[in-house]
Amino acid sequence: MTVLGVAPALPLHSAGKYVAGAYVVFVLLILVYVTIMAIRLGRMERQLVELNRDLARRDEAPETSGASETRGAETRNRPDTRNRPDARNPADARNPPDARNAPDAPDGGREPARMGGAGRPAGDSSL
């Protein structure tokens, strides 16, 4: 190795710490950046887990609503009572549960479909 330096401004033992300091700064900057990226990646992973959990919950929901749809089909086979004038009455929604569960309840065919979960209609499948 050729050494051109004959009279350097700083001897090696003094200059070494500055050179080491400069390169350590460089490495530290990259390390800090990588650490921040790792934290963000961890956060994103947690969100993915959360999303998977929500999806699993949604997958369970149609199964439940599938069972209730069978019940809904049974009620749909009955003579259509929804077009009766009293079924369109807004006051009808305020009927007590026992009244709605009565065999001739006007919304008897619709109610089971709402049991699908999370207050969403069972037919609403954006999956």
| Interface with another protein (CB under 8 A) | 1-12, 14-16, 18-19, 21-23, 25-26, 29-30, 33, 37, 40-41, 44, 47-48, 51, 54-55, 58, 120, 126-127
* The pair of three-digit structure tokens given for residue 46, joined into one six-digit string: 């947690």
**How many angstroms separate the most distant Cα atoms in the chain?**
107
Query: Helix H segments across 1-127?
Result: 12-76, 97-100
Give me the least distance between CB of 53 and another protein, in Å please: 11
Give me the least distance between CB of 79 and another protein, in Å please: 35
Give me the least distance between CB of 21 and another protein, in Å please: 5
Closer residue to another protein, CB minimum distance, 23 or 63: 23
Closer residue to another protein, CB minimum distance, 62 or 87: 62
Task: Tell the burial category of 71 from Cβ atoms under 10 Å away from its Cβ (0-12, 13-18, 19+).
Answer: middle
Closer residue to another protein, CB minimum distance, 62 or 95: 62
Dist CA 10 CA 16 (whole Å): 9
Give me the least distance between CB of 24 and another protein, in Å please: 10
Closer residue to another protein, CB minimum distance, 2 or 83: 2
User: Which conformational region is residue 118 in: left (phi greater than 0), alpha (psi within -120 to 50 degrees), or beta?
Assistant: left
